[in-house]
Amino acid sequence: MLSDKSRSFSDSESELLMASTATLNAKKRGLTNEVKFLGRSCANFFCNSNDGTVMRRSEVTWAKFLFFYFCFFSALVVYLSCAFGFYLEVYVDKNHPRTQAWDTLLMEWPSLAIRPMPDYRTSMIRFVQGQPSSYKPFADHIQAFLLHYENAAQESEALIDCSNLGNDQNRNKFKACRFVIDTLGQNCTWQRDYGYDEGKPCVLLKLTKIFGWEPPAFGFNETVPELGDRFSPDTIGVTCEGENPIDQENIGPLAYYPPKGFPKYYYPYLNQEGYRAPLVMVQFLKPTNGIVINVWCKAWIKDLVHHRYDNLGSIHFEMLID
């Protein structure tokens, strides 16, 4: 009896296995036919030899299609070129910016910039005293910047000598004033490696250019106590100091060239031919070695309030002499 049941069970399994195999083979044949049909459809889509079409378009249709889009994009390029050219000629002035004063991000007040800064990723000036390989990038950056201020580079007739004019309001302000590089002193020169070899580094300061900006005049009897005897109503005075009490102890004495700061006769900036922004050289005479010194330099302009985080009229950098 057991053998009959076992045989019956085996026959059922065999029939089921044969049915599954037949079904699988049928599905495989159907899948193969579908793949073949799909392949033939794709081939006929890209190139149908029966009706001579490519991607279901005849040669004439393709010619019309390409001609239309050629004309369309050509007209688009011509239109955009004319619109852009009209914008440049009418809206954009080559000599005068469209937005000025409070409409700009500078909000009418210039900020200070420093040289050297050979690496824009950091504001630290770090070098080893007496080791040329460590301070040469800083000295070379100052020298490269000052090449535009050499006397030979300012021989243009578009420049005038303003040193004897002072703040004469009647002078031709559309002529730029010639900058005399000798006013930067004899201690901060390339022959002396700008003081870096002696551990007395020099730093250049300049005000960023703002079109049409003129420094407001100080009133009668007004003064800037921070400048002391270096204050002059005809210049924009500059000071550098340690940002924190410990920095003030380590920064040491400073020398400024020219002592009174930026002469006001260089302003306003009106995009004059050959214009050079005035410079002030600051020399750190005896900074403490081996300690990071946080330096905050400020330009003293009437009604300008200095703030550590907006850099209006000021600049922050660090110095470390090993």
What pLDDT sits at residue 13? 57
In the chain, what percentage of residues exceed pLDDT 90?
A: 47
Give the C-alpha distances (Å, rounded to integers) separating 140 from 35, 132, 146, 284.
71, 11, 10, 18
What pLDDT sits at residue 6? 46
Q: What is the pLDDT of residues 235-293, one digit of tens each?
A: 999 999 999 999 999 999 999 999 999 999 999 898 888 899 999 999 999 999 999 99
| Cβ-based neighbours of 91, under 8 Å, separated by 6 or more | 98
pLDDT band at 315 (very low <50, low <70, confident <90, very high): very high
Please answer whether residues 206 and 110 qualify as being in contact, where contact means their C-beta atoms are separated by less than 8 angstroms: no
pLDDT band at 5 (very low <50, low <70, confident <90, very high): very low
Q: Is the pLDDT of residue 104 over 50?
A: yes
CA distance 111 to 236: 13
Of residues 17 and 280, the one with the higher pLDDT is: 280
What pLDDT sits at residue 2? 42
Q: Is the pLDDT of residue 105 over 70?
A: no
* Chain mean pLDDT for the chain: 84
Q: Is the pLDDT of residue 71 over 80?
A: yes
Please answer whether residues 198 and 284 qualify as being in contact, where contact means their C-beta atoms are separated by less than 8 angstroms: no
What pLDDT sits at residue 20? 59
Mean local confidence (pLDDT), 98-115: 74
Mean local confidence (pLDDT), 81-86: 91
Q: Is the pLDDT of residue 37 over 50?
A: yes
Of residues 107 and 183, the one with the higher pLDDT is: 183
What pLDDT sits at residue 188? 93
CA distance 99 to 215: 19
pLDDT band at 162 (very low <50, low <70, confident <90, very high): confident
Q: Could you give the 3-state DSSP secondary structure of residue 287?
A: coil
Least confident span in 36-40, 101-105, 224-228, 289-293:
101-105
Please answer whether residues 213 and 108 qualify as being in contact, where contact means their C-beta atoms are separated by less than 8 angstroms: yes
Mean local confidence (pLDDT), 192-215: 92
Q: Is the pLDDT of residue 192 over 60?
A: yes
What pLDDT sits at residue 1? 45
What pLDDT sits at residue 288? 94
